[in-house]
A and B are shown apart, each in its own frame.
Chain A
Amino acid sequence: MHRALVERAKGGDREAFDALARLVGDQCMAIAFRILRDADRADDAVQAALISAWRQLRALRNPDAFEPWLHRILTNECYAEARRRTRFQAEIRVLPTMAGHAESTEILTINDRDQLERAFRRLTLEQRAVLVFHHYVGLSLPEVAVHLGIPIGTVKSRLHHATAALRASLEADSRTPSLSQERLA
């Protein structure tokens, strides 16, 4: 889809890369936010990934492979961003905005969201990335392996452990009265 722009950008055309960045930037932001669970960190990671992609673009031999190639860079920038910030930043939870909740309210209860948020943050970044590319981006497991640059067996293992952890949090929630219920009682 972006082949012509990638070809031009590979040749050093900054306008083409700018157009390319505007085409893929929102998706990159969505992925980075879901891995990092923080809009500011995700913003920084996406900017770093796009600049890094520009610098390395000449090394991309197949323009059709731009998207998985960019996703590998983005994921690594997310890992790097998380490591940078955890050195000096206290953990502050960023609650999702209410606007974003409207779409899935029927499926996702407030308790689900709270439990999943906590459980998701306990996952490793590598596990989060697999979950995001599989469940959010909608890639098959072999595609996730390509986009993350890891073996398919590793994808399956990370997905298994991550899913088990999230399911466990939901099941625990179903067995434990919520804080609001305790207060009402």
Chain B
Amino acid sequence: MSTTRDPNQIIKAFLEEGVNELPDRSFDAVRTAIDQTRQWAVVGPWKEPQIMTATRFALIAAAIAVFAIVAIRFLPVSNVGPAPAPSPVATPVPTPSPTPRSLLVTPNGPTPIEAGTYLVGDPFLVPLTFTVPNGWTGNIGGPNAVFLQKAVGSANVSFTVQQSLYADACHFSAGLLSPTPGPAASDLATALAAMPGLTSTTPADVSINGYSGKQVTLTAPTNTSGCDLAPDGLFRLWQLPLGATEEIGAGSTERLWVVDVGSQRLVIQTSEWPGETEADKGEANAIVGSVVLPPHS
């Protein structure tokens, strides 16, 4: 061969060769996966499109300040061994001594987090610890929610406060529930169990480290005909003050623990989506089972 030929041209020609089409079966596989995968919630004031600029800046500044506080408090404090068996009532773990190790959690979306036990302080009135295995992401975008989601798959767990319930999960256009439920955990659990469009269990008494609450399980129907669902095609349950929402898909089950913690109602949530593996369900249940609140005085 001759070296007088243009090497860039040869490199380009080399890169022109090869596979150029994604097989149809791969498109189909992606479609199947997204049918079983929900989009991650994004929490932040930018979801409020009508906010005036000055207010928007103030909210962003406030969100950053809160985020900084939460990020500092959301530090891994210890690593633990095998995940405990799932239990609706959290098993206490030894109080860890915080190890100041920074953890990048952004308000823009989920960030991978290392396996370990984490402490969440603000915005909750009392510190909450939980333990995650490898392969999970964390998303703290605002003062009202911590979302944990398996990096691959649909398994998820969340801790939220200040929920505003929708009136009818099957009819999104009905808007928010009015009047709002009373202030107690039992009020919220009762309202959730009564939400039209879903099948629910009777709220049962639970206690997490001395904090009383209710456990309720909601199941969405597989047939959505006749429903006027939210724009994302899901059954909308509630929204938080900064715009994050909670919803479940057709045929999914949502397990909720609503607990009175001081003047707040903490909701611990995990949902099972069709097609979710037993291993993923086990990991989500283990996270719920690892939740520890400090002893109730």
Point out the residues of chain B lying under 8 angstroms from A109, CB to CB: 1
Cβ of A6 within 8 Å of any chain B Cβ, yes or no, is no
Point out the residues of chain A lying under 8 angstroms from B19, CB to CB: 29-30, 33, 39, 42, 100
Point out the residues of chain A lying under 8 angstroms from B110, CB to CB: 56
- A157–B19 alpha-carbon span in the complex (Å): 28
- B43 → A minimal CB distance (Å): 10
Q: A13-B233, A46-B26 are in contact. Are A108 and B39 (CB under 8 A)?
A: no
Point out the residues of chain A lying under 8 angstroms from B31, CB to CB: 14, 18, 21
Question: Contact string, A86-111, partner B, CB cutoff 8 A, digits 1/0?
Answer: 00000000001000110110011101
CB pair B13–A174 under 8 Å, yes or no, is no
CB pair A14–B35 under 8 Å, yes or no, is yes
CB pair B17–A104 under 8 Å, yes or no, is yes
Interface size class of A (residues with CB under 8 A): 35 or more
Binds A, one of B3-11, B69-77, B200-208: B3-11
Number of chain B residues whose Cβ lies closer than 8 Å to a Cβ of chain A: 45
CB pair A108–B14 under 8 Å, yes or no, is yes
A-B residue pairs, 7 tightest by C-beta: A12-B232, A59-B109, A104-B13, A29-B22, A107-B13, A25-B22, A136-B15
Closest to B35 in A: A14
CB pair B29–A47 under 8 Å, yes or no, is yes
Give the total number of A-B pairs whose CB atoms are below 8 A apart: 144
- A37–B33 alpha-carbon span in the complex (Å): 25
- A18 → B minimal CB distance (Å): 5
Residue positions of A touching B, CB distance < 8 A: 11-14, 17-18, 21-22, 25-26, 28-30, 33-34, 39, 42-43, 46-48, 50-51, 54-59, 61, 96, 100-101, 103-104, 107-109, 111-113, 116-117, 120, 131-132, 135-136, 163, 166-167, 170-171, 173-174
Point out the residues of chain A lying under 8 angstroms from B23, CB to CB: 43
CB pair A26–B33 under 8 Å, yes or no, is no
Cβ of B216 within 8 Å of any chain A Cβ, yes or no, is no
Q: Which of A42, A50, A61, A112 contacts B14 (CB 8 A)?
A: A112
CB pair A30–B2 under 8 Å, yes or no, is no
